[in-house]
Structure 1
Amino acid sequence: MPKHVVIIGNGISGITCARYVRKMSDYKITVISSESKYFYSRTALMYIYMGHMREVDTQPYEPYFWGKNRIDLLQEHVASVDPNNNSISLANNQTINYDYLVIATGSKSNKFGWSGQDLKGVQGLYNLQDLQSMEIYTNNIERAVVVGGGLIGIETVEMLLSRNIAVTYLVREQSFWRSILPQEESNMVSKLFKLHHVDIQFGTELKEIINDGTGRVGSILTSKGEVINCGFVALTVGVNPNIDVVKNSSIETDRGVLIDDYFRTNYANVFSAGDCAQFRQALSGRKPVEQVWYTGKMQGATVAANICGKQQTYQPGHWFNSAKFFDLEYQTYGMVLAEKPEDTDWFWWQDDLGERGIRLQWNKATKAFTGLNCFGNRIRHEVCNDWL
């Protein structure tokens, strides 16, 4: 009888784990998710809303792929996990036993206890259900408010503008993404909002969300005392690990599910990967919780290797990320911080139109290249890796 690998979550970490377990073994594989039957590219949600893609276009694998590779998909909600008896319980009262369990439940949108945050038309944007809700509550509205100055925030602004919805954007910092970007890069992105006619309010926070009298948002109150009428509020103030399914179990958690260098929890046959996982000891220069698409993929592959007896620790290589701010492409390699460390030197160049820029970073003492930010140009990943 082949061993049974149960994976909770069908995001990039869970599906990568399933694919690699299949490549390396004949184990039985079951992937469970209440969100959707098939794996889809979460980063493509905005393009569905904007009319550039259909939902089916965001699925990297054809429906026949799963049967062909003997990966069972189950669209159900996991109610509880019992690691002492190697079993999970579903909301439909079904019990499933496992030999190995992988918790890959991803993230959920943050809420910070604002009055009115549970009104209709107030939400985050993380999954398909959020997208479907956004379709409903942004229909025939004149203005929306977006709260939170990060990548999901600017994507949500762009989505709303594509439907000709006026947007007020509340950003706590004095310029865009200033906790991540150096001042020059932050200024470059901040200017884009005026070009796209966004009412962006820096140094402003959400104080209250006001009921229109029907259980739906009708306006918001800012920290500066301004009341803004709106039909939709997007709370894009970050995400946190979705660990609800294991909170009442004996699997150890902190912010996320606690794991060692091999992605094992405090149970040798229970693993965790992706947005919901938290390293007990973070790698040097990296965060204990990594909530990035490519690291989730790498983590899922490493978990699969460990399940199949090929013991591997996490080797993510050099940090990198990329994004797009409206039409402005952004790449970062190495750890370029918002403020220059004492042992570091920088060189910043920007063209006269403010449409392209690059920051090079190196160690003062050794002159070794340690990172870069690039805007408006595209740099080859392999080249940056070689430099680092």
Structure 2
Amino acid sequence: MRNIIIIGNGISGVTTARHIRKHSEDHITIISAETEHFFSRTALMYIYMGHMKYESTKPYEDFFWKKNRIELVYDFVEKIDFKSKSLQLRKSESLSYDVLVLAVGSKSNKFGWPGQDLEAVQGLYSYQDLEGMERYSPTTQNAVIVGGGLIGIEMGEMFHTRGIDVTFVVRESSFWNNVLPPEESEMINRHIRKHGFKLMLSTEIDEILDDGSGRAKGVQLKEGGELDAQFVGLTVGVSPNIDFLKNSELETGKGIKVNEYFETNQPDVYAIGDCAEFEKAPADDRRPIEQVWYTGRMHGETLAQTICGTKTAYQPGVWFNSAKFLDIEYQTYGQVSNQPDDETEEHFYWEHEKGEKSIRLVFSKSDNTLKGVNLMGVRYRHEVCDKMMRDKWPMKKVFQNLKEANFDPEFFKKYENELVGMYNERYPNEQVKVGRKKVLGIF
């Protein structure tokens, strides 16, 4: 019987433990310094907003772990000795492993701003971050959120439910334009302002100001001027939480270097989830570091197969992500660049006249097949978009069957006919009939 230790009780680590237990009798230990039990990290905002209690965010009852013979250790790993295969813990005795899984997640980015370590200056990633927001909210009238991304949107929405004024300070010229194409990014600019947030674009902070007691009182802008803020949210992305591993024998870059089997350069040591950095991206539409909930789950499922004797390479399939910009749902599939390339791509972009819904289809000019989909305020079926890209559907076939992708509730207005009309305008010799039924047997 092997002693398997997993550091980190997020979706990656817990999924690994669960799937190992399905196939082996090995001794499994999960170590975490964040919480005693696994919880849904995506629910942090709903706890703050009063929609859920922390207990309701735990997918498994507390007895689940003992019943499945998975030992939980609530402690912090200070050092790993890879030669002796042992871990040094802060509160407990050291532990030895036969197999070690590093699922240590991410931490909020900081960029050396003076005052970034003051009280009431933080990101939104961990349960401790949620506790910090709760602690400082009663004495916060104004919050400044630095950065233009999904975490910043969540933090802003959370503060708004408490009547706290929020100002976004975004270095870029448009919100999240390092990911979104210009039209979608501009839509989000409008939407943020419509909901009563202040949005300062092409603006950077120079310093976070101290109120004299060690707490933030505002920010100094590089362009001049100050903003009052009793809370400063740092939401300029996250990075692998590997500082405690930097001076060890473990090979690291931005994250922990792994191959397609999640193997590191140390024997019997694996890394998965937010902290893993693939030496070679697992697919053309994938990045070396994947920091999304569902990919973390896939990492855990795949690694468990290898640990249990069936060596399995990670094959993630078509990229997918979803989120919300306040009340606009966002979905993306495959490859959609923030800067469309007219030489290699054909874009069909439709936007509703009210400016809060859009559909973008991206086709590769080299083979005329669907390359990516961006949706704002419209929902498509995952299995349909996945099949269209996996099976390399040509443009005409996509438009012939586009209605089958729509997953909005019954009685919602559908807009696919308008995209078909755009296609027919561009390709008058390749007409697609509006309202055509799906091709039988493809779904």
TM-score, shorter chain, exceeding 0.5: yes
Q: Which runs of 5+ in 1 are unaligned?
A: none
CA distance in 1, matches of 2:358, 2:43: 26
How big is the shift at 1:194? 1.5
Show the counterpart of 2:212.
213
Structure 2: which amino acid aligns with 1:296? G
Deviations 1:19-61 (A, max 9, x none): 0100111111000001101001111101111111111111111
Letter in 1 for 2:302: T
Percentage of matched positions with identical amino acids: 51
Aligned equivalents of 1:119, 1:185: Cα separation in 2: 35
Q: Aligned letter for 2:235? A: T
- Distance (Å, rounded) in 1 between the aligned partners of 2:87 and 2:243: 14
Cα deviation 1:79-122 (Å, max 9, x = unaligned): 11111111111112511111100000000011101011111111
Cα distance, 1:249 vs structure 2: 2.3
User: 1:253 deviation in Å?
Assistant: 1.1
- Structure 2: give runs of 5+ residues left out of the alignment: 390-443
What is the DSSP-based 3-state SS (H/G/I as helix, E as strand, rest coil) of the residue aligned with 1:101? strand
* Residue 224 (structure 1) aligned with residue 209 (structure 2): no
Deviations 1:163-202 (A, max 9, x none): 1100111011111111111111111111111111111101
What corresponds to 1:196 in structure 2? Answer: 195
The higher radius of gyration belongs to 2
2:104: which partner in 1? Answer: 105
Matches within 5 A, 1:357-372: 357-372=358-373
Aligned to 1:66: 65
Match of 1:308 in 2: 308
Equivalent residues of 2:349, 2:359 under 8 A apart: yes
Determine the C-alpha separation between the residues in 2 that align with 1:163 and 1:93.
40
TM-score scaled to structure 1, two decimals? 0.98
1:375 and 2:405 are equivalent in the alignment: no
Contact 2:282–2:315 at 8 Å: present in 1 too?
no
Q: Deviations over 1:237-280 (max 9, x none)?
A: 11110113322321111111111111011123100000111111
What does residue 320 of structure 1 align with? 320
What is the SS of the residue equivalent to 1:253?
Answer: coil
Alpha-carbon distance, 1:226 to partner: 1.7
* Structure 2 contact 30–70 (Cα < 8 Å) conserved: yes
Task: Tell me by how many angstroms 1:212 deviates.
Answer: 0.8
3-state DSSP class of the match of 1:330? strand
Supply the distance in 2 between the matched residues of 1:64 and 1:92 (Cα, whole angstroms): 24
Q: Following the alignment from structure 1 to structure 2, what is the Cα–Cα distance between the partners of residues 87 and 140?
A: 44
For 1:315 and 1:347, locate their aligned partners in 2 and report how far apart those are by CA, in whole Å.
29
Give the ranges of 4+ consecutive aligned residues of structure 1 lying more than 6 Å apart after TM superposition: none
Preserved CA contact (<8 Å) 2:272 2:300:
yes
Distance 1:16 1:248 in 2: 28
Aligned residue for 1:338, secondary structure, equals coil
Which is worse superposed, 243-252 or 113-122? 243-252
1:277 maps to amino acid: A
Matched, 1:337 2:341: no
1:277-292 to structure 2, matched below 5 A, reads 277-285=276-284, 286-292=286-292
Match of 1:7 in 2: 6
**Aligned partner letter, 1:369:** L
What's 2:122 paired with?
123
Q: In the alignment, what sits opposite 2:49?
A: 50
Using the alignment, how far apart are the partners of 1:339 and 1:58 within structure 2?
A: 38
Report the alpha carbon displacement of residue 326 of structure 1 after superposing the two structures with TM: 0.6
Letter in 1 for 2:326: F
What residue number does 1:149 align with? 148
Aligned residue identity for 2:53:
R
What residue in structure 2 maps to residue 262 of structure 1? Answer: 261
CA–CA distance in structure 1, aligned partners of residues 289 and 332 of structure 2: 19
Amino acid at match of 1:129: Q
C-alpha distance in structure 2 between counterparts of 1:247 and 1:171, whole Å: 30
TM-score (norm 2): 0.86
Contact 2:282-2:316 at 8 Å conserved across structures: no
Q: In the TM superposition, what are the counterparts of 1:28-39 in structure 2 within 5 Å?
A: 28-39=27-38
Root mean square deviation, CA, Å: 1.0
Q: What does the per-residue CA deviation read over 1:343-374, in whole Å, with 9 as the maximum and x for residues that have no partner? A: 11100001111121100010113211111101
| Higher RCO structure, 1 or 2 (CA under 8 Å, sep 6+) | 1
The 2-side partners of 1:253 and 1:280 are apart by: 10
Distance 2:243 2:29 in 1: 20
Tell me the distance in 1 between the aligned counterparts of 2:270 and 2:366.
41
Q: Residue deviations 1:111-139, cap 9 Å, x none?
A: 10101111111111110111101111121
Q: Give distance in 2, aligned partners of 1:14 and 1:143.
A: 37
Q: CA separation in 2, counterparts of 1:369 and 1:230?
A: 46
The amino acid that maps onto 1:358 is I
Secondary structure (helix, strand or coil) at the match of 1:62 reads: coil
Aligned partner letter, 2:216: V
- 1:248 and 1:100 map into 2 onto residues whose CA distance is 21
